[in-house]
Structures are given as structure tokens and as C-alpha cells.
Amino acid sequence: MARKWSKHEDQLLAETIFKHIEDGSTQLAAFAETGERLGRSPEACGFRWNNVLRKKYEASLQIAQEQARSVRTRSKLHLEDGWDEKEIPKMVNWMIRYLRWWRDRWAGRERERKELKEKIRRKEEVIRQLKRENEQLQRERLTGTMFGMETNGNLVRVEGR
């Protein structure tokens, strides 16, 4: 029976793939490295990535691919004095994680905002309904129409109390 994948293993697989892509390597090399580290076959890692994780990490994968293109063209860029070229990928990775955190936080806040907006809409509808009922009761009070409860529990209109 096949061993189940843990969240830690999924995360390690994804991070290894991103690292390989950013370094200009291939996903196949990432599958081999992850398989060796986890005691799984490269094929199992590839299957897990392509059939389960790839959709989940699609945005991150695109960022890693863009980063790889950026690294390949880095020699064309002028680096400021004092920047260690080897540290730039680490800084970029940190920034990517930071931006993902903000994106996720923003998405959560956006969901909360939409939920609150819907709650407000429902409350406003209840308020409108209560105002209509209140107006109806005011008209009935002014016309002398009142309601009472019969002994059997039925509500009845009582004229001129």
C-alpha cells in the first residue's frame, strides 16, 4: 500500500521545484532530489506534483519561472555597490514569500468585506420590512383597528377598543 503524502512532504516538493526552476534547473532534477530526500521515487514526486500540487501552486510556479528569466538576464543589470550577487535570489525569495503573505491576507480581508457587505444588505432588508410593518401598524392604530387573541389562540381584529 502506498504511503500517504504529508503536508511537510508536499511543501518540501514545491519548494525544491521552485528552487530548481529559479536556479535554471529542471523539474525532473527537482523530482530526483526530492525523491532522494523523502525516500520516494522521482516518478512518485512527479506524479504528486503534476496531479495534486501544481494547480495549488500555479501562481507561485509562474513567479519562479519569471525569477528564472530574471536570473538569466541578471548580467545585463547594474548591481548597486555592496550587493552580494549570491544573496539576491535569497532576498527575492524572501520578498516573494512576504508578498504572498500580503496577498493571502488581502484576499482574506476581501472575503470578510464581502461577507460583511452581504450581512449589511440583509439587515437593511429586515429594517425596510420592519419599517413597512410599523407604518401598517401606525395606520391601523389611527383607524382604530386593533388585534386581540381569542381563547383558542387565534388572532382577531377588534374594532374600537
Question: What is the per-residue DSSP string for 49-93?
Answer: IIIIIHHHTHHHHHHHHHHHHHHHTGGGSPPPTT--GGGHHHHHH
Instruction: Flag whether 50 is in a domain.
Output: yes
Domains: count for the chain: 1
Instruction: Flag whether 161 is in a domain.
Output: no
Instruction: Flag whether 119 is in a domain.
Output: yes
Segments of 10-117 assigned E as strands: none
Is the full-model pTM beyond 0.85? no
**Tens-of-pLDDT digits for all 161 residues of the chain?**
678 999 999 999 988 988 888 777 888 999 999 999 999 999 999 999 999 888 888 887 787 777 777 666 554 444 555 566 677 787 888 888 888 888 888 888 898 999 999 999 999 999 999 999 999 888 877 776 677 888 898 888 776 54
Q: Which domain holds residue 103?
A: 8-77+86-150
